[in-house]
Chains A and B, each alone.
Chain A
Amino acid sequence: MARDEQFKQEVLRLAGQEVLTCIQCGTCSASCPTAHLMNPSIRKLIKFCLEGKKEEALHNETLWLCTSCLLCTVRCPRGIRPKAVVSALKDIAERAGLRSKDAAYEQFFLKQIKDFGRIAELALTAEFLLVFPQGAVQSMQMGLELLPKGKIGLKIERIKGRDEVKRIVEELRKE
């Protein structure tokens, strides 16, 4: 696979130039709560980015197994933010129109923020189940638990500053 320098620079721009100083020590992978399920590991993902291996970096399950817990980030001895690298890759993948259940979940989430200003969990779940019906069992279990407790918000909240929020999402994403 050819080295994609432009891709590498885009990752550095989004996640920080310090990614260049990675020594591949693997502290990030060793800290990650879902490392055992990841292939490539988070360490290797960063290596792919530095080598400009776009395909390998973008098309994997690793990105979507990150829980955003930031343990990699507080532990990295080089002051790199591995989670920010993951976020950068997700952002690049989503903008390139990647289709997957995980990317869809993020897209629905952002769309709700853009349209309403807040998240309506019920509508978000319903929308997600349309693309990923396998999630129905879990959602039913959760619904049966939460509904009698009055903890499922049925109303979609719309804030007044929706135009401003829309501008934040659309304009800042272009930067």
Chain B
Amino acid sequence: MKLAYYPGCVSLSTGKEMDASTRAVSAALGIELVELPDWNCCGATHVSNELVATGLAARNMAQTDLPIMTACSICYSNLRAAAQRLEEHEIREKVNAVLDRKYSSARIRHALDVILEALTEGDERIVVPLKELKVAPYYGCLLTRPKGVYSPQFPTILEELIKRLQAEPVDFRLKTACCGGPIFMPQEKAAEDIAFKILAEAKKAGAEVIVTVCPLCHLMLDAKQKVLEQKHGVRIGIPVLYVTQLAGIALGLGPEELGLDMNSVSPVAMMEGVYERTAEGF
């Protein structure tokens, strides 16, 4: 399978491990990724003018005829929302009037759905089954919104993938709650309160690892975890992995390929547990 790959700006900075693991897992699953030529920022959640946001997404989508895959839920949401708006003739006319390559149509996919589709039940490529590993499926908000193929409030695709990797999804009440990330710069306290609630809930649910599908969720729960622990005087200590990192571990890829040394909360202890259980099983 051949897909156009839209890394998104975060891949060049705070989400480097998202990018590395996405490329590594795709290669391991025989999915050929062609980086979208000369891609631009999707506008994230900071471009208030909807037509401008639609135009930025349309320029990206017009660069290829292949289905476009991204591992970032914000990019994914923006491209999907724009594709929906571009169905309207009037909007498409206005946008195409300023584009070099004209937009006609696009199919947008998230890495999560591509990986799940590529893995069969009991897939032989899963050389490190994640047996007994308790995983909190954290969707965040934008993977499922605006409304698309998944339920915007009660999605299950992440649990499906976790089970296919032979791990155990925990019952996670706040799985589709917002992480607060989009406002963390100008509205620090509001954002941190929200993120802490999610971490505390994951702890309560007995998670050994939280899995995310968005670099901003990852930043809030992983890079900020230590600061949040200090502020609240509570120990959380739960590693936060991108879904591509979790899948990569199960596929037997090494920590370096998956960028696991770039995670703030070390996943080493969790991984040792996984490897031990695998060794016992053989």
Interface residues of A (CB under 8 A from B): 14, 33-34, 37, 64-71, 73-75, 84, 87-88, 90-91, 94, 101-102, 105-106, 109-110, 112-113, 117-122, 125, 128, 132, 135, 138, 141-142, 145-146, 149-153, 155, 157, 159-161, 164-165, 167-169, 171-173, 175
Contacts and interface: CB of A to CB of B under 8 A. Distances in A.
A14 B224 CA distance: 35
Interface of A is mostly: helix
6 contacts: A34-B180, A67-B183, A70-B152, A118-B40, A125-B185, A161-B100
A6 B253 CA distance: 59
Contact of B41 (A64, A68, A119, A146): A119
Interface of B is mostly: loop
Contacts of A161: 38, 40, 59, 100
Interface of B: 9-10, 12-17, 38-41, 43-52, 54-56, 59, 77, 94-95, 97-100, 141-142, 145-147, 152-153, 176-178, 180-188, 190-191, 194, 223-224, 226-227, 261-264
A74 B52 contact: no
A167 B98 contact: yes
A161 to B, nearest CB: 5
Given A67-B45, A109-B46, A164 B99 contact: yes
A135 B44 contact: no
B264 A102 contact: no
Contacts of A169: 52, 55-56
Contacts of A173: 49, 51-52
Contacts of A135: 185-186, 188
A134 B56 CA distance: 32
B190 A37 contact: yes
Contacts of B146: 70, 73-74
Contacts of B178: 33, 67, 69, 71
Given A69-B141, A102-B186, A172 B44 contact: no
Contacts of B13: 120-122, 151-153
Contacts of B41: 112-113, 117-119
Most A CB contacts (10 A, CB to CB) among B97, B187, B261 go to B187
A138 B228 CA distance: 11
A16 B94 CA distance: 17
B100 A164 contact: yes
B12 A118 contact: yes
Nearest to B58: A168
B200 to A, nearest CB: 15
B51 A175 contact: yes
Given A149-B264, A151-B16, A70 B9 contact: no
B95 A172 contact: yes
